[in-house]
Structure formats: C-alpha cells, structure tokens
Amino acid sequence: MSRNRSLVMAFAAVALFGACGGAPHGVPVRVIIPKGSTFKEATDSLERAKLVSWPRIFRLYGRFTGGDRNIKPGTYLLKHDTPWPDIVSALNGGKGLVNSITVPEGFSLRQIVPLMSRKLSVPADSVAAAVRDTALLSRLDLPNETLEGYLFPDTYAFPEGTTARQAVREMVQRFEREWKPAWDARLSELKINRNDLVTMASIVEKEAIRPEERPVIAAVYYNRLRKGMLLQADPTVQYALPQHVGRVLYRDLKIESPYNTYVHTGLPPGPIASPGGPSLAAAANPASVPYLFFVAAPDGHHEFRMTFAEHTAAIRKIRGIAEPIPPPPPQGKVAPAPAKRAAVRRTTTVRKAPAKRPPPKTTTTTRKKKPAIR
C-alpha cells in the first residue's frame, strides 16, 4: 500500500471517528448544491454553511468512501454537527432535499398558486383551497375570501412532502413575524385597519420603481383618500381584469369591479399583491407631502405635483405634448373611451396626442416588475 493511500485511510478514519461523536442540533441550515457540482464544490458550500469544519479532510473522506462520485444536486436542509457519513449519504441519496420557492415582491395569488403547485408537486386545486383557509382568514381577521397579500414574499425551503396547507401557513406566519408592532399604533392615526394598510402597501408595491419614492407614492394616495378623490391606480384595474394586460387601455377603465379605482372611491376591498417589508413600512409611514398627482418619467422616477394644472404640465413635458390636456372626469365616472384604442399608461416613445384625448390617468407609473395577475 502506497504512503499516500495510507494517509488517505488515516485521515478518513480520524474523520469518521470524529464525525460520529456528535449529534445534529439546532435549526436546519439550507445548502444549495447546483446541478453539475463536483464534490469539491459541494464541500465548499457545506463549509460556507458551517456544516463542515475541515473541508480538505472531508474531501479525502468522500474520496476514500466513494461518496464523492454520485452527489445529487438540489437544496438540502442539514443541521449542525451532522455526522459526515450522514452528510455524504444525504448528498448521494437526495435525503433532506427540499423544494426552494421564491415568491417575488408584488406577486399576486394568480401567480403564486401555479408557482407553489409546480414547486411542491401538488395539484393547483389544493393550493387554491389552502389560500382560502378559513381558520387563517379568521386568525388574521380578514374580510376577504382569500389570503391575497398575506403570503409574505421571500425564498422558502419546504421539505419534500410539504402540503399546500403547510406551506401557506408558513408563509402567513412569516407575514406575522414581519409585521411591526409600531405599525399597529399607526393604524388609528391613519384611520384605517390592518387590511387597509396591507392593501395600500400592495398598490405601492406595484407602483413604486425607486425605493425612496414608496413613502411619497403612499402619501399621494392617502391625500386623495382624505379628499374623497378617486385613486385611479392602474394596478388595481389590472387586478380586476379577467386576464393580464401589459398596459391599461381606456376601454379597460369601464370594467365593473370593486377593484376598479377609476370608478369606485376609496381603497379596493383587499390587497392586489404581496407587498414586501419596505412597501408595508411606506404604507404605515407615508411621507409628509401635499401631492395629489404623479406621473412616471421614462427613466422610472416620478414627477409629483399638487394641482391638476401642474400635473398636466408635467405630463406634457414628459410626453412631449404641445396641446392642453382636458380636465379629469367627475368623481365616480369614467370618460367614454375613444373609438381608437389608446393606452392610458405612457411609454418611453413620444407620441403625438390624438385630436380628442380622454382625461389622463392622474397617477400613472411604469411597470417595474412582472405583471400582477389575480
């Protein structure tokens, strides 16, 4: 037997003896082994997760036992002080594999349900039923039919075999952990309830492009609410439509839905998407500004204005429109759509205004994320 072979066996024996002495403990740590990873790359991931303290010896152990030849990629949940034989066995047999699900900020249930169905390998109907869990709706004191807005956006690692109901409960629990007690005190000051705040946060989530503008956008909507003005938020119309549209058209503004804020005053009945922490914070702490209107520029920032005259001037400047823009329709009504389709939301391409232009949206934005579909 060669000297190198003896050293490998010696290292492996020491590693095996030492690794078997402890017991797994603590919260499981998530480790991702990408597809095509070598045993060395897998070891590096384990070391970063502080699951392996002696990577060189662990690699020798894997080579000696043959465990370095058949590792399976995926996301694993492993506890600290897990014996090396168990780690190698997990990597070889796919034990401890979990389903990793990332729910982006601003996703609606129409996007989340198929995502969870696919990642958990469960029927979409079971996910749809889970997001209507009456026990959770009661616990959160929600008047809504679903948990829209309360499945907190984040990356989750669900062990194999996790049911839709278990996954939904964990996501709701994450929302409850993220909710700040200080926000409860703000509810009375803003004269709203928690569901209203989450609803406002969901609109801000869909409208805001630049993080620093979130509190200002929230303030605009709160100011409009206090004055009894229509919110005229395009994302709420997109949510009301039976299918996704990239841009809201004038004809879309006529849809009859409590979520159509071009027709109905006040906030919609519930959230239109899952807001993240920053949008929830903005809805709880809006900026102290007097603005009532905003329009987005091609670079994504918004121009905020106090009066409709100032707002129309900002629109003309951004869109390159020379002629005046007509005043908005009376509150609670929508101007008739022109014969030709015309986009409410502006684009980065400057277009000449039609001879008869319906009133502009008072709070328009450019999409920053994947479109929300209920």
Per-residue pLDDT tens digits for 169-217:
999 999 999 999 999 999 999 999 999 999 999 999 999 999 999 999 9
Q: Indicate the average pLDDT of the chain.
A: 82
Please tell me the distance from the alpha carbon of residue 237 to that of residue 245, in angstroms, as a whole number.
Answer: 10
Residue spans of the domains in the chain: they are 3-95, 101-178, 181-319
pLDDT in the model for residue 5: 59
pLDDT in the model for residue 98: 79
- Assign 16 a pLDDT band (cuts: 50, 70, 90): low
Higher pLDDT, 325 or 104: 104
Segment 142-170 shows an average pLDDT of 93
- Assign 145 a pLDDT band (cuts: 50, 70, 90): very high
Q: pLDDT digit string (tens) for 350-369?
A: 333 344 444 444 444 444 44
Please tell me the distance from the alpha carbon of residue 62 to that of residue 43, in angstroms, as a whole number.
Answer: 10
Q: What is the CATH number of domain 3-95?
A: 3.30.1490.480
Count helices and strands in the chain by DSSP H and E runs = 14, 6
The structure's pTM equals 0.71
Structure tokens at 56: 């060189």
Q: How far is CA 158 from the centre of its chain?
A: 17
Segment 155-173 shows an average pLDDT of 92
Please tell me the distance from the alpha carbon of residue 301 to that of residue 287, in angstroms, as a whole number.
Answer: 16
The residue among 22, 104, 38 whose CA lies nearest residue 71 is 38
pLDDT in the model for residue 44: 93
Treating both helix axes as pointing N-terminal to C-terminal, what angle do 55-65 and 3-19 enclose, rounded to 10 degrees? 110
SS3 206: helix
Share of the chain above pLDDT 90, in %: 51
CA 230 vs CA 50, 221, 265, 307: distances in Å: 54, 9, 5, 15
Amino acid at site 321:
I
**Least confident residue range of 79-83, 105-109, 231-235, 276-280:** 79-83
Q: pLDDT digit string (tens) for 42-90?
A: 999 999 989 998 999 999 989 888 888 888 888 888 888 889 988 998 8
Higher pLDDT, 21 or 349: 21
pLDDT in the model for residue 77: 83
| Res 7 pLDDT > 50 | yes
Higher pLDDT, 22 or 82: 82
Pairing of strands 74-80, 97-102: antiparallel
pLDDT in the model for residue 250: 82
Angle ∠(224,275,197) on CA atoms, nearest 5: 45
pLDDT in the model for residue 11: 56
SS3 343: strand
CA dihedral 271, 276, 277, 278 (to 10 degrees): -100
Q: pLDDT digit string (tens) for 283-329?
A: 999 999 999 998 888 888 888 899 999 998 988 888 876 545 555 55
Task: Give the residue ranges of DSSP H helices in the chain.
Answer: 3-19, 39-48, 55-65, 84-93, 109-120, 124-130, 134-139, 164-178, 181-190, 194-207, 214-226, 234-240, 277-284, 308-319
**Is residue 363 within 8 Å of 221, Cβ to Cβ?**
yes
Higher pLDDT, 7 or 230: 230
pLDDT in the model for residue 331: 52
